[in-house]
Amino acid sequence: MQEAWTEICESLRAEIGEASYQSWIKPMRLIGLDGGAVRTGVPTRFMREWIQAHYQDRLSELLGSRGLKGGIDVVIHQEHGAPARPDIKPAGAGKDAEASSGPVNGNGNGTHYDDIGAPLDARYTFDRFVVGKPNEFAYAAARRVAEADVVPFNPLFLYGGVGLGKTHLMHAIAWHLRKTRPDRSVIYLSAEKFMYRFVRALREHNTVDFKEQFRSVDVLMVDDVQFISGKESTQEEFFHTFNSLVDQGRQIVISADKSPNDLEGMEERLISRLNCGLVADIHATTYELRLGILQAKGEHMGVEVPLKVMEFLAHKITSNVRELEGALNRVVAHHQLVGRDITLETSQDVLHDLLKASERRVTIEEIQKRVSTHFNIRVSDMHSARRARSVARPRQVAMYLSKQLTSRSLPEIGRKFGGRDHTTVMHAVKKVEELREQDSSFNEDVELLRRMLEG
Ligand code: ADP
Ligand code: MG
């Protein structure tokens, strides 16, 4: 079972991102089986509640797919094997012990949700989706599908890199329809699940039922279709389901990590079907969008996060929204657990492993090139002995940035600037610091350069 647990943790790690994984999943300890449920322990009540709210369903699902269908049970338990002491409970936790014994959700056995669809995440609604340049088209298309009376385009094909909001938009369509058109049947599921159901139907010889179920829905949403690349019979079945729904004027929404034409291992006729409707891509996030998402998230959590901290996160965590959320959650959780104010310093501390991993290595050569272009001088002037202000100042800026952005020592930096002495570099750093305080347009220049180099 330990092995299954380790595997599950790993697959969750890929799904939720490193930051959330480190904060929530890694500290969980496997205790054993308890009346069919897998029992795990975490050190605090806060963690237990968080895990239950955010990861329990998915954990149950993953356990279920490995034959452990009894759900998961999270108890408070002192770190590293010491038994939990029921006599010291946090205030107001009277019913805790009871509530935590036995599986908390019935999802593990698959009866809790519609048999063919997958559960929807309550947080993934339109009003919690922050719209910006990179996703406005996909957002508008999704809204259109959710609000239209007549199918506007078929299918709607959403694509983009991981963690950029595809699943969020699909759930949002489903939530919206559930609310406004409860008469319509809406099915959302991953392509993986589609395949799993199909294979099971084949094995149990009831493909007729399977076909019936899928072919009678009003809106079918299949997430991450790249999963069925190379899986021929699943594609075949999917293709037929797809055609039959389209012919009946039912809406289909598909997501993938690439555009239809770039999907590999897909049949030609399926690709051309996928291209028939509207293809909308979600681009990588911009700084503004990341900041907007952090602000919205902070408000939802009811936590006052200083702007400086949000700006810092928006600068540093650029990979995708999931990582960004994970980082914010971690900062907030730390604040709630330890009770220290959220500051730039505590945030850097809490995220230090994450930041180290995502830090891009900027080289002195890159800095010299960028700065030269910016100030319109020749790169060779970075090494030259010319002392005219027009070249000396940019050179100082480049030295300053080299000190800030790389881990090179002063003598090493001096050497890269035409063999200058380390005191020259030191002087440059001081000078630029002074000027940044005195001259706001100079300060903006330097800040802009720093961002570009880090970005
Ligand atoms: P994908 O399916 O593209 O991999 P998800 O839809 O799972 O990405 O998004 C990852 C996380 O980021 C989710 O928690 C989602 O709510 C959040 N997210 C992504 N884009 C946005 C956005 N524009 N506004 C708010 N939250 C977002
Ligand atoms: Mg997704």
Measured N-to-C along each axis, helices 207-215 and 191-203 cross at an angle, to the nearest 10 degrees, of: 150
**272 and 414 co-located in one domain:** no
Q: Which positions ≥6 away from 98 have C-beta within 8 Å?
A: none
Q: Which residue has a Cα nearest atom 1 of ligand 1?
A: 163
Q: For residue 288, what pLDDT is reported?
A: 92
Contacts of 447 (CB under 8 A, 6+ apart): none
Report CA-CA distances (Å) from 280 to 58, 80, 141, 218, 219: 28, 48, 7, 21, 18
- 116 within some domain: no
Backbone angles phi, psi at 401, to 5 degrees: -65, -35
Nearest ligand 1 atom, CA 168: 6
Q: Are residues 249 and 159 in the same domain?
A: yes
Q: What CA–CA distances, in Å, run from 269 to 209, 232, 235, 239, 240?
A: 25, 12, 10, 8, 11
- Residue 335 has which token pair? 């604040």
The last residue of one of the domains, among 282, 299, 326, is 282
Task: Report the SS3 class of residue 380.
Answer: helix
pLDDT at position 104, please? 31
For residue 217, give the amino acid letter: V
Q: Whose CA is nearest to atom 20 of ligand 1?
A: 165
Confirm whether 111 is domain-assigned. Answer: no
Q: Yes or no: say if 284 and 161 are a contact pair by the CB < 8 Å rule.
A: yes
Residues 139 and 273 in one domain: yes
**Lowest-confidence region among 61-75, 216-230, 356-370:** 356-370
The CB of 129 under 6 Å from ligand 1? The reply is yes
> 194 and 238 in contact (C-beta within 8 Å)?
yes
Is the C-beta atom of 164 inside 6 A of ligand 1?
yes
How far away, in angstroms, is 309 Cα from ligand 1 center?
A: 21
Distance CA 238, CA 224 (A): 13
Structural domain total, the chain: 4
Q: How far is the CA of 246 from the centre of ligand 1 (A)?
A: 28
Q: How far apart are CA 33 and CA 126, in angstroms?
A: 39
pLDDT greater than 90 at residue 295:
yes
Calculate how far, in angstroms, residue 166's C-alpha sits from the geometric centre of ligand 2.
5
* pLDDT for position 357: 63
> 160 C-alpha to center of ligand 1: Å?
11
Ligand positioned closest to the Cα atom of 223: 2
Q: 401: domain range?
A: 364-454
Distance between CA 333 and CA 42 in Å, rounded?
14
Q: How many CA atoms lie within 13 A of 453 on its CB side?
A: 28
Percent of the chain with pLDDT over 90: 53
Distance 94 CA to ligand 2 centre (A): 38
The stretch 181-210 carries a mean pLDDT of 89
Of 282, 304, 332, which marks where a domain is finished? 282
pLDDT digits (tens, 9 = 90+) for 152-165: 999 999 999 999 99
Quick one: pLDDT at residue 359?
61
Instruction: Verify whether ligand 1 is closer than 6 Å to residue 52 (CB atom).
Output: no
| Domain assignment present for 359 | no
**Quick one: pLDDT at residue 225?**
95
Residue 200 has pLDDT above 80, yes or no: yes
Residue 175: predicted pLDDT? 95
Residue-wise pLDDT for 305-314, tens only, equals: 999 999 999 9
263/271 Cα distance (integer angstroms)? 8
Ion ligand 2: residues, CB within 5 A, are 166-167
User: pLDDT at residue 391 above 90?
Assistant: yes
Distance CA 118, CA 48 (A): 24
Greatest Cα-to-Cα distance within the chain, rounded to the nearest angstrom: 84
Which pLDDT tens digit goes with each residue over 77-111? 765 343 333 333 333 333 333 233 223 333 333 22
Q: From 164, 317, 319, 328, give the residue whose CB has the most ligand 1 atoms within 8 Å, as the site to mutate.
A: 164
Residues 310 and 445 placed together within one structural domain of the fold: no
135 and 258 co-located in one domain: yes
CA of 163 to the centre of ligand 2 (A): 7
Average pLDDT over residues 58-68: 89
Mutate which of 188, 293, 321, 328 to test ligand 1's pocket (most atoms within 8 Å of Cβ)?
321
- Residue 38 belongs to a domain: yes
| Within-domain flag for 114 | no
- Supply the residue whose CA is at minimum distance from atom 11 of ligand 1: 322
pLDDT digits (tens, 9 = 90+) for 36-49: 889 998 877 767 87
Nearest CA to ligand 1 atom 5: 165
DSSP state of 123: T
Token digits of residue 119: 């559960």
Q: Which amino acid is at 257?
A: D
Q: What is the pLDDT of residue 115?
A: 58
13/345 Cα distance (integer angstroms) = 26
CA-to-CA distance for 169 and 139, rounded, in angstroms? Answer: 7
| pLDDT score of 188 more than 60 | yes
What tens digit of pLDDT does each residue of 246-289 get?
Answer: 999 999 999 999 999 989 889 899 999 999 999 999 998 999 99
The Cα–Cα gap between 47 and 6 comes to: 19
Contact status, residue 72 vs residue 109, Cβ threshold 8 Å: no
User: Is 0.75 topped by the overall pTM?
Assistant: no
Which CATH number is 130's domain given? 3.40.50.300
pLDDT at 360 over 80: no
Q: Give the up-direction half-sphere exposure of residue 11: CA atoms within 13 A in the CB hemisphere.
A: 13
Q: What's residue 34's pLDDT?
A: 82
